[in-house]
Amino acid sequence: MSSVIETYYATVDSGRLEDAVALLAENVEFAMVLPTGANYGSGRASMLDYLSSRPPVDRKHKVLRVAAEGDLHFLHGSVTENGTKTTGYFVGVMHVDSAGLVDRYQVTFDAEFSLIPPDSSAEGVR
């Protein structure tokens, strides 16, 4: 069974943005730390606006590692465009409330740095 964080990224990648946002609590708070700056927000509507406003590319999140400890879910992965080009690496962390919805979400993205060394034969192992 997939964790909520894996389900969220898979749903975003499928283009079902409203379904992805439905995994979030109505009052979700989020922080997205990107090379262009930090984006802070709250609420499902704000997250849907953010996701909908991204440039239209064939973007996928490739899971490299995932872990959960109680109410916190962690994921490290790469982002690819058009099936082949890796545009960078991200770390996402979600806090899940008692109803099973994400009420806090933080992600960082870097175009070059992966937590898994590039020469590691373990890349992609979960």
| CATH number of residue 28's parent domain | 3.10.450.50
Q: What is the pTM of this model?
A: 0.88
pLDDT at residue 126, as a whole number: 42
Q: pLDDT band for position 91 (50/70/90)?
A: very high
Across-strand partners of 45?
none
The answer to whether residue 120 sits within a structural domain is no
Question: What distance in Å separates the CA atoms of residue 122 and residue 60, rounded to the nearest whole number?
Answer: 20
pLDDT at residue 1, as a whole number: 60
The answer to whether residue 100 sits within a structural domain is yes
Of residues 56 and 35, more confidently modeled: 35
The boundaries of the domain holding residue 98 are 4-110
* 3 state DSSP class of 23: coil
Round the CA-based radius of gyration of the chain to a whole number and report it.
Answer: 14
pLDDT at residue 111, as a whole number: 92
Q: pLDDT of 46-67, one tens digit each?
A: 999 999 988 777 889 999 999 9
Q: Which of 102, 82, 79 is nearest to 90 (CA)?
A: 79
